[in-house]
Amino acid sequence: MYVYDKANELARAIKDSSEYKAMQEAKEAVAQKDEYMDMVKEFMKAQINIQTMTMMGREVDEGTKEAFNALYTTVMNVEACRKYLEAQNVFGRMIQDIYQIIGDAGDIMNELFQDMMGGQN
């Protein structure tokens, strides 16, 4: 159970982190105005759409790029929205780093599996 205790400790540490607290505070500021929250959601959807298209090898048309750039400019000109997106990025990087650290434990499992298979794939 030691691993589970550490996982719970990590969850608490994440919630106590300055990155998490800054993101929550920025989210509360954005939530004060429905139009700000709507802008942020629209921006995030557009961003995911472009990332998905790119990952699938599809070219993003100029109209989509221009609409995204206009939305980006609008969102970044609103201080509360900009701070929220920046805080999300900082928090996201921290979480990615944690996943990488945890993922390194997966290398141990790969080594064990290869040892069990006699080095065969």
Q: Digits of tens for pLDDT over the chain (121 positions)?
A: 788 999 999 999 999 999 999 999 999 999 999 999 999 999 999 999 999 999 999 999 999 999 999 999 999 999 999 999 999 999 999 999 998 888 887 666 667 667 677 655 5
Instruction: Tell me whether residue 86 is in a domain.
Output: yes
CA distances from 10 to 6, 42, 55 (A): 6, 32, 31
3-state secondary structure of 78: coil
3-state DSSP call for residue 71? helix
Closest C-alpha to 87, from 35, 42, 20, 40: 20
Whether 12 is covered by a domain: the verdict is no
88, with CB counted inside 10 A (0-12, 13-18, 19+), is: middle
- Predicted local distance difference test score (pLDDT) of residue 120: 57
Q: Does residue 111 lie in a domain region?
A: yes
Residue 37's domain comprises: 20-116
CATH code assigned at 68:
1.20.1500
**Which residue blocks in the chain are alpha helix, DSSP H?**
2-16, 18-31, 34-55, 62-76, 79-116
Q: Per the structure, how many domains does the chain have?
A: 1
What confidence score (pLDDT) does residue 113 get? 66
Tell me how crowded residue 6 is: count the other CB atoms within 10 A of its CB.
11
* pTM for this predicted structure: 0.80
